[in-house]
């Protein structure tokens, strides 16, 4: 037997119902800090270092993100290294 239940609610209502904490103040602070820091950033190298420092898993998180982007872009025919606009070999 299969039972399907559809529930319509806002994300806030779902968090409350499931007993999850409201992390929106932390999210807002994170975003505000990112925006303030980015205002003083000029070069791409500085941006990469900034995102690397804010990344939850540091360098490992950045490598994982780059791999995911490469996989996604290779499916579009652009190939690895396509973040910089370069095609593979």
Alpha carbon distance 29, 10 (integer Å): 22
Tens digits of residue pLDDT in 40-81: 766 667 777 777 777 767 777 778 878 888 887 777 665 545
Q: pTM of the predicted model, to two decimals? A: 0.38
Predicted confidence at residue 89, as pLDDT, reads 45
Helix (H) or strand (E) holding 24: helix 24-39
Predicted confidence at residue 76, as pLDDT, reads 64
Residue at token pair 């898993």: 57
Tens digits of residue pLDDT in 21-43: 888 888 898 888 878 777 776 66
Predicted confidence at residue 79, as pLDDT, reads 52
Predicted confidence at residue 82, as pLDDT, reads 45
């Amino acid at each position: 037997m299969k039972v399907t239940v559809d529930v319509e609610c806002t994300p806030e209502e779902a968090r409350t119902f499931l007993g999850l904490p409201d992390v929106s103040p932390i999210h807002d602070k994170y975003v505000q800090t990112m925006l303030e820091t980015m205002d003083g950033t000029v070069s791409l190298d500085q941006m990469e270092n900034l995102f690397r420092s804010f990344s939850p898993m540091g360098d490992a998180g950045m490598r994982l993100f780059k791999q995911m982007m490469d996989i996604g872009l290779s499916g579009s025919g652009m190939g690895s290294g396509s973040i910089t606009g370069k095609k593979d070999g």
